[in-house]
With several copies, the nearest count.
Chain A
Amino acid sequence: MTLNKETLLNWYKKMLHTRFFESQVDAFFAKGMIHGTTHLSIGQEAFAIGSTAALHADDLITSTHRGHGECIGKDADLNRMMAELMGKSNGYCKGKGGSMHIADLEKGNLGANGVVGGGFAIAVGAALTQQMKKTGKVVLCFFGDGASNEGSFHEALNLASIWKLPVVFMCTNNHYGMSMSVSRSTAVANIADRAASYEMPGITVDGNDPIKVYEATLAAVERARSGEGPSIVEGITYRWLGHSKSDANRYRTKEEIEAWKDRCPIKAFEQYLIKNNIISQQESDEITAGAKDDIVRAVEFAQQGSYPGIETLEEDVYA
């Protein structure tokens, strides 16, 4: 596996972008500058970025309610993301979608989803297009541990398997679906164990290590691309913040959260890069500062945007 410096730094930057983007959103949310609800993936960046790194630029993804990282992994424009969250017309969805519905079809992002499990069938259909049109493209279908208990998971994985579709089911196992721990909600310990029901490979990796995530995803992607069908790739990680704004964290301990914060994927990756002499601390600081600036610019872009006019209200219901 040759991962050159440029590649690794790109990942690092995207992980930082995700972190800073979401920290900013969190702050804006607290101030009432972003409304509605938002689900932050702080602590989970390595899985989103390591996995999407295994894709070609024209491959596809379907994402979830907690999808900012995957979106950034798939090269989304931070400006338009921030604008969308602020409900502006220069946002990805012209202010009509918000955090849960960011889509970037040109870049192959078929959309986040407000319905848990809502993306499975869409990903399977998108993979069918690739197979029938022989595009050679692959679809990554992101979902959470909790989503694996929806019936849509089962129907989609079975169909993908029997049709040998080029789709990889990417489980962000952050230990909880809202307040339900995996051990309480799910009959198996690892979601990837369920691959057995669909005669596909299932692998569970450290979701906080972008290189491990990348390698596992790449293997599954290559398998899918070569026509051998779908797999499950599961990354074990942790959601640092509450599920959404309404979460008082009653279902877990401070100690547990702190222990996972100690395993910060971004810190760990920085240390890896420095220890392996890929970058210096100074370079890291510069990248970090640059990533922060990008978010400042995104905020500026968003703030300059206008709210969608009332005349757009009934537009775009039908093509």
Chain B
Amino acid sequence: MTMALITYKEAVRQAMQEEMRRDENVFLLGEDVGVYGGAFGVSLGMLEEFGEERVRDTPISEGVIAGAAAGAAVTGLRPIAEIMFSDFITIAMDSLVNQAAKMRYMFGGKAKVPMVLRMPGGSGTGAAAQHSQSLEAWLVHVPGLKVVMPSTPYDVKGLLKTAIRDDNPVVFIETKTVYNKKGEVPEEDYAIPFGVADIKRVGKDVTVFATGVMVHRSLEAAEILAKEGIDVEVIDPRTLVPFDKETLVKSVIKTGKLIIVHEACKRGGFGGEVAAEVMESEAFDYLDAPIKRVAGKNIPIPYCMELEKSAVPQVDDIVNAVREIV
């Protein structure tokens, strides 16, 4: 495979472009996705290639963005809808949760709702409490939705393709602080199946399970710890629904120790779900120490940079947590 070094953002764009070239039913809609290229420049240039018909600027109306995507999907299109910041999914929750996610089941299996709802999540841009949330736990709790949270250019491209080809509503959470991070991505068409975790680093002493930007921080932490002789395995689930429990369980059986790291605030976060799943699995008997969660504080994200940093796990926090457990 020929590889290219591209940013996460470019990988997102390429996935959309390639799918839109492949399938005329795929199109993009959202606020300022056209000439502006999206708030983070993700869709820059797409208007030029696909025109206003398939790269659709919408009014500032998140409810109808998600709901119209559902309506278009159920009648034969494959919309990619963008919510400018994942924080504004609050406005689209009814469309997403009560409509898109439930249509198929309520209708006795007759509907297909092949839509992707893309949105950047997370803190780190100094944009404070209403532009920095990590809300994936809400969506994991909604039957009928799939939830994807890629951390690298390779993953984001391969998973977005799968998401677009999937016949279900997929919530696709992009990690905004890695938009400009580069990584190797095949030039050939590829897709990454849902429900397959990626072991981002193989190790034997402790399993660190991390999502989004925390994958990168965990890998950094692992390098620091390696110097101390602690060999960390870093697992990135990549998709939260469906969830690859097997890979995680195997790893925990191997290492006997699990640390779960996420940016979302700890209380009610995805970490609890993961901890409970592991506990209910055969890995329970292999646990040498209690499962530990390293997660965001239970506070809105503050504006001031130092406080903002302290609100979510940093490399040091992960390092310390590992040291405490081994």
Decide yes or no: A101 and B106 within 8 Å by CB, A87-B303, A95-B304, A110-B74 being known contacts.
yes
The answer to whether B105 and A316 touch across the interface, beta carbons within 8 angstroms, is: yes
Query: Given the complex, which residues of B lie within 8 Å of A129, measured CB to CB?
Result: 71-72, 75-77
Measured in the bound complex, the distance between the Cα atoms of B297 and A94 in whole Å is 18
The answer to whether B91 and A122 touch across the interface, beta carbons within 8 angstroms, is: no
The answer to whether B71 and A110 touch across the interface, beta carbons within 8 angstroms, is: yes
Query: Given the complex, which residues of B lie within 8 Å of A251, measured CB to CB?
Result: 35-36
Measured in the bound complex, the distance between the Cα atoms of B37 and A162 in whole Å is 21
From A105, A118, A307, give the contact of B94 (CB < 8 A): A118
A178 contacts the other chain (CB 8 A): yes
Query: Given the complex, which residues of B lie within 8 Å of A177, measured CB to CB?
Result: 31, 59-60
Measured CB to CB, the closest approach of chain B to A10, in angstroms, equals 26
From A88, A96, A126, A151, give the contact of B302 (CB < 8 A): A96
Measured CB to CB, the closest approach of chain B to A55, in angstroms, equals 15
Interface of B: prevailing SS: loop
Q: Which among A37, A129, A308 has the greatest number of chain B C-beta atoms within 10 A?
A: A129
The answer to whether B128 and A98 touch across the interface, beta carbons within 8 angstroms, is: yes
Q: Which of A111-142 contact B (CB under 8 A)?
A: 111, 113-118, 120-130, 132-133
B218 contacts the other chain (CB 8 A): no
Measured in the bound complex, the distance between the Cα atoms of B94 and A314 in whole Å is 22
Measured in the bound complex, the distance between the Cα atoms of B310 and A189 in whole Å is 46
Q: Mark B103-133, 1 if CB is under 8 A from A, else 0.
A: 1111111111110000000000111111100
The answer to whether A95 and B307 touch across the interface, beta carbons within 8 angstroms, is: yes
Query: Given the complex, which residues of B lie within 8 Å of A319, measured CB to CB?
Result: 104, 112-114, 167-168
Measured CB to CB, the closest approach of chain B to A228, in angstroms, equals 18
The answer to whether A96 and B131 touch across the interface, beta carbons within 8 angstroms, is: no
Q: Which of A133-188 contact B (CB under 8 A)?
A: 133, 146-147, 149-152, 155-156, 158-159, 162, 177-180, 184-186
B324 contacts the other chain (CB 8 A): no
The answer to whether A93 and B107 touch across the interface, beta carbons within 8 angstroms, is: yes
From B88, B98, B99, B303, give the contact of A96 (CB < 8 A): B303
The answer to whether B307 and A308 touch across the interface, beta carbons within 8 angstroms, is: yes
The answer to whether A93 and B59 touch across the interface, beta carbons within 8 angstroms, is: no
The answer to whether B307 and A310 touch across the interface, beta carbons within 8 angstroms, is: yes
User: Which partner residue on chain B sits nearest A141 by CB separation?
Assistant: B71
B151 contacts the other chain (CB 8 A): no
A312 contacts the other chain (CB 8 A): yes
Query: Given the complex, which residues of A lie within 8 Å of B53, measured CB to CB?
Result: 132
Query: Given the complex, which residues of B lie within 8 Å of A317, measured CB to CB?
Result: 104-105, 143-144, 298-300
Measured in the bound complex, the distance between the Cα atoms of B169 and A122 in whole Å is 14
Q: Interface size of A by Cβ–Cβ distance < 8 Å?
A: 74
Q: Which of A64-122 contact B (CB under 8 A)?
A: 84, 87-88, 91-98, 100-101, 103, 105, 110-111, 113-118, 120-122
Query: Given the complex, which residues of B lie within 8 Å of A307, measured CB to CB?
Result: 304, 306-307
A290 contacts the other chain (CB 8 A): no
Measured CB to CB, the closest approach of chain A to B101, in angstroms, equals 9
User: Which partner residue on chain B sits nearest A181 by CB separation?
Assistant: B57
Q: Mark B76-91, 1 if CB is under 8 A from A, else 0.
A: 1101000000011011
List 11 A-B residue pairs with CB atoms under 8 Å apart, sorted by A's residue number. Answer: A87-B305, A92-B107, A105-B107, A115-B99, A122-B67, A146-B60, A159-B59, A178-B32, A179-B34, A317-B105, A317-B299
Chain B residues in the interface with A (C-beta under 8 A)? 27, 31-32, 34-37, 39-41, 53, 57-64, 66-77, 79, 87-88, 90-91, 94-95, 98-99, 103-114, 125-131, 143-144, 146, 167-168, 297-300, 302-307, 310-311
Contacts A96-B303, A122-B67 supplied; 17 other A-B pairs, CB < 8 Å: A93-B108, A97-B128, A101-B107, A101-B130, A121-B64, A125-B79, A132-B72, A178-B36, A179-B36, A251-B36, A308-B302, A308-B306, A313-B297, A317-B105, A317-B298, A317-B299, A319-B104
